[in-house]
Structures are given as structure tokens and as C-alpha cells.
Structure 1
Amino acid sequence: MYMLTIILLTLRTTNVFAGILGDGRKQSVAVSGHLLCNEKPAANIRLKLYDKEILLDYKLDEGKTDSSGAFYLRGSKKEITNIDPKLNIYHKCNYSGPCVKKLSIIIPDEYITESSTPQLVFNIGTINLAGMISGEEIDCIN
């Protein structure tokens, strides 16, 4: 109960400041990369770009990799504080369980643009999803 009270007060305080300062500033981010599974292009891999929040993350964009395993996502949001973007990759490469593997990648602050159109693109490079990747987890609710 105490934690819920703290969270509600924090949200209320944020809303008060939002009313005083306006709706915040428009911020945007873009991310690209190339995914492989067993050294072959990982096509149709689901990706979601989020702004991390206290309770529920805010989805900025979503998509899938193309036939070559490449992707590009971008999104924007008005917020008083800096957005905290992350990319979630959902896949079943070398996994036969009932759910999916989820890999989250934090996007550095220097790739956030203060406009509705990203000026920089965070390129994650090429990732082979076949191996054990640090921080990867099983996700049944995505």
C-alpha cells in the first residue's frame, strides 16, 4: 500500500509539473540493425521500440525484420523529462518453447533528438540470435 501511495504521488507531481510547464518537449529516436539466426537472415522477427516508464512502457513504434533480417524503427513522444528508449526483439531462434525469447537493448541518450524527426540512427549492428545473449529472457506476454 505504501509503494502504491508513493507511485500515485509521483504521478500526480509529474502531472502538476506538466500543467505548469506545458506538455513537455517533442523527442524522437530511431534504431536500425540486422538480425541473424544461425548465421542466416532472421526474417519476420518482431520488434518494438519503447519509452521506458515507471509502470507501463509507452510504445513508440513496432515492426518486423525484412527478408534480409534488416529493420528500421522510429518514434517520437512529448515528455518533460528525457525519454528512455529501448528496443525489444522477440524471437524463437533455436528455441521451441511455448513463449518467445526477448532481448532488450537500451538506446543511448545521445541518439535522442529534440524534434519529431530523428536526426541520428542508433545502429545495433548485426546480432546473431542463435547464441546465449546476456540479458535475454523468456516472454509469454508481449
Structure 2
Amino acid sequence: MLRSACVVLLGLVAVTSAGEYAVGVEGVLMCNGQPYGDAKVRIYEVDTLHDDKLAQTFSSSDGHFRLGGHQSELGGITAKLNIYHKCEMPAWKRILPICYYKATFPIPKRYIQSGNTPNEFYNVQTIELSMHAKGYDCINLIR
């Protein structure tokens, strides 16, 4: 009985000591010098086993995006920005319309803040998608 109470108490301490952390990113996407709209843009909290999606949006027709999210976690979070796009994708790869190139960018720790809402957004400026390494992703199917 005492052992069960200790386990419950430790669990409550862990939950109540978890902090809320927020992160936001903004920027512009280009493909060969032209604004790139409708790219899927996501912020993930990086974990050892499974990364947690914190926020998602799509770039506007002029290439702009802005998104923010938050996560409750013990000891802080590490975050990354994933961009799913078809910039310079050869026609033969477009046969599977569910597959995208994926560009990943780490988000500096200084843009991860305490709370539910980011106060300062990480401005990645302009990202020219044709200039970045292209991983291939067919898993992130859901819009």
C-alpha cells in the first residue's frame, strides 16, 4: 500500500514539475527564385523514440509561413522545422502524389520559451528549397 502511494506521489511530482515550452518559426519559401506556396510546414519536438508534432501550416501563395506550438515536457525541449515540398521533383517521382521532399532545420534553443505562446519567432528569412538536401518522405500523408 505504501509502495503504491509512493509511486502515485512520484508520478504527480513529475507531472506537476513538467514545464510548458513554446516555439515559433516564420519565413519565406522559394523554388528557383519563385515564391513556393502550399508547402507543408511543421514544427516537431525532438524525442528519442518519436518526435511530437507541435504545429503545422502551409505556405501561402507568396511563400510566407508563420506557425507556433507548445509542449509540456520535463527539462525543456529540442525543436526542429520540417518542410515538405515538391520543388524540383522529377516527373517520374510525382507518380506517387503522396511523396514529398523533406528539408529539416534545427531551431536554436534561444527561440524555445517558457509558456504556451511564443513571444519571439525564429525568422529563417528566405529558404531556397532547390539549394537544400532533399530527403524523401512518403509517410506524412495527412494534410
TM-score (norm 1): 0.82
Counterpart residue number, 2:75 = 81
SS in 1 for 2:37: coil
Counterpart residue number, 2:116 = 116
Counterpart residue number, 2:105 = 105
- In 1, the alpha carbon distance for the partners of 2:81 and 2:11 equals 26
Alpha-carbon shift at residue 48 of structure 1 (Å): 1.0
- In 2, the alpha carbon distance for the partners of 1:17 and 1:66 equals 46
Alpha-carbon shift at residue 56 of structure 1 (Å): 1.2
Counterpart residue number, 1:141 = 139
CA-to-aligned-CA distance 1:14-60 (integer Å, 9 cap, x gap): xx965433340111000000000111110111111110111111110
Counterpart residue number, 1:3 = none
SS in 2 for 1:130: helix
Q: What do you get for the CA RMSD once the two structures are aligned?
A: 1.6
Alpha-carbon shift at residue 117 of structure 1 (Å): 1.3
Structure showing greater radius of gyration is: 2
- In 1, the alpha carbon distance for the partners of 2:39 and 2:50 equals 23
- In 1, the alpha carbon distance for the partners of 2:77 and 2:62 equals 30
Q: Cα–Cα, structure 1 residues 18 and 45, in superposed 2: closer, same or farther, change >3 Å? A: farther
Unaligned runs of 5+ in 1: 1-15
Q: What percent of counterpart residues are identical?
A: 34
The runs of at least 4 aligned residues of structure 1 exceeding 6 Å deviation read none
> Structure 1 residue 66 and structure 2 residue 64: aligned?
no
SS in 2 for 1:101: strand
Counterpart residue number, 1:128 = 128
Unaligned runs of 5+ in 2: 1-8
